[in-house]
Structures are given as structure tokens and as C-alpha cells.
Structure 1
Amino acid sequence: MAAPIRTLCCSVLKNSNKYFSTTCGVRAGEKWRQEHGLSRSGTEYGPLTDLPDWSYADGRPAPPMKGQLRRKQEREVLARRIVMLNTEMDRGIETWKKKQEEAKRIEEHKKSLLLKPKGNLLVKKS
């Protein structure tokens, strides 16, 4: 049953003048938005996305929608990750500086243990 339908669809598509597009659509205005410091599309963030669509007649705000709660949670997770990575970088830099100071101190200690000039060589240097 499926074979005749498939051949029928293929023959119809071959004879038609219109073709299916298999490329992704171009986001209109994406370059302009990014040049002006806005989001890539109008639905990523901003007042149209983040603010509620309605409120009660007495002025109370509407409860947040699922998408708003999800975006808020994603931002919190991202902020926590940024803080964690920042503290890791700070700790890494401090550890690296301590290792550099320790290596310098060890090098100076090794130089102090080297043989020192004696006798006539000591007199000539002074």
C-alpha cells in the first residue's frame, strides 16, 4: 500500500514547478539587531518576552507564565555558573602566584648554597 503512494508522490514532485526548500530560513534583521546591542531575534529577551501580557483590573500583576519562569531559572543557573568559574579562576591565579614565589624562593636558596669565593678571589671582588 505504501509503495504506490510513494511513487505517486515522487512523480507529482518531479513534475511540479515548485520545490521544497531544505535550507534554514534567514533571520530577518539579525545583523542589525546585534549591531545595535539587541538580541538575535525579538523573542529571546526584552520587555515583550519578559513582562506579563496582562494584569488584573485592580492593578495586581499577573502570575508569571511557564516561559518566564523557565527563562528566569536559566538566567539564575547561568549566573551561578559565572560566579563559580570566576572564583575558580581567582583561586587558580592565586595558586599560580604562590607556586611562582615558591620557585623563586627555592632558586634563591640554591644560589645561597653555592660555593663562595675565598682568599684572593674574595679580595679582588671587593
Structure 2
Amino acid sequence: MAAPVRTLCCSALRLSSRHFSSTCGVQAGQKWRTEHGLSRSGTEYGPLTDLPDWSFEDGRPAPPLKGQLRRRKEKEELARRIVMLNSEVDRGIEVWEEKQQEAKRMEEHKQSLLLKPKGNLLIKKPRS
């Protein structure tokens, strides 16, 4: 029974003048949006995705949807990661500055250990 239906569908597809497209419709305009500083698709962020869909008649907000909770959690994790990486960069800059100061101190110490000029070189000539 399944074979006649299958051959009927295949023959109908062969006779059809339309072709099927397997590209994603969400990517339409993606390049333009990113060039203009917008999100890749219109549903990544903004009032249509961030605000609730409805509220109670007495003004109470609706409970958040699963997608809103997921996006909020992802944003919080991203913010925590940004803060952590920023603190790591700040600490790295402090360590680098300490190393630079230590190298400067070592160079000054080496200069202080060098032999000092003696004799006539120590006598400063008076300015005329």
C-alpha cells in the first residue's frame, strides 16, 4: 500500500515546475542588519523578545516565559564572565607594572654598584 503512494508523490514532484529551497529564511537581511549595528535576526533582542507578551487586567505582570528566563540566565552568565575577565586583565596589568618597577629598581641598583670616578673628575669646575 505504501509503494503506490510513494510513486505517486515522486511522480507528482517530478512533474512540478516549482523547486524547493532548503535555505533558512531567518538569514534574510542578516548582512544588512549587522552592518547597521542591529542583531543578526529581528528576534534576538528587543522589546518583542524581552518584554512580556501579556499582563493581568489589574496591572500585575505575567509570569516570565521559559525563553525569557533562559535569555536572562544567559545574559547574567555573560555579565559574570565579562566581570571575571576584566578583573583578570586588571590584575595582569598590575603584575606587569610591578615587574617594570622591579626591573627599574634593579637597573638603578646595578648603576649604584658601578665604580665611581675619582680624583680630578670629582672636582666640579666652577661656572664662569
Output the TM-score relative to the length of structure 1.
Answer: 0.75
Alpha-carbon distance in 1 for matches of 2:26, 2:45:
19
Change (3 A) 1:64 1:22: closer
State the match for 1:115 in structure 2. Answer: 115
Deviation at 1:31, TM superposition (A): 2.4
| Structure 1 spans left out of the alignment, 5+ residues | 1-7
Alpha-carbon distance in 2 for matches of 1:24, 1:55:
33
State the match for 2:55 in structure 1. Answer: 55
Structure 1 residues 65-111: Cα deviation after superposition (integer angstroms, max 9, x where no partner): 00000000000000011011111111110110011011011111011
Deviation at 1:23, TM superposition (A): 5.8
TM-align CA RMSD: 2.8
Change (3 A) 1:36 1:23: closer
| Structure 2 spans left out of the alignment, 5+ residues | 1-6
Deviation at 1:43, TM superposition (A): 1.1
Alpha-carbon distance in 2 for matches of 1:31, 1:112:
63
1:1-126, aligned counterparts within 5 Å?
27-123=27-123
- Give runs of ≥4 in structure 1 deviating > 3 Å: 11-26, 120-123
Structure 1 counterpart SS, 2:27: coil
Structure 1 counterpart SS, 2:108: helix
Alpha-carbon distance in 2 for matches of 1:58, 1:16:
55
Q: How many residue pairs get matched?
A: 117
Identity among equivalent pairs (%): 75
Alpha-carbon distance in 1 for matches of 2:46, 2:23:
28
Output the TM-score relative to the length of structure 2.
Answer: 0.74
State the match for 2:3 in structure 1. Answer: none
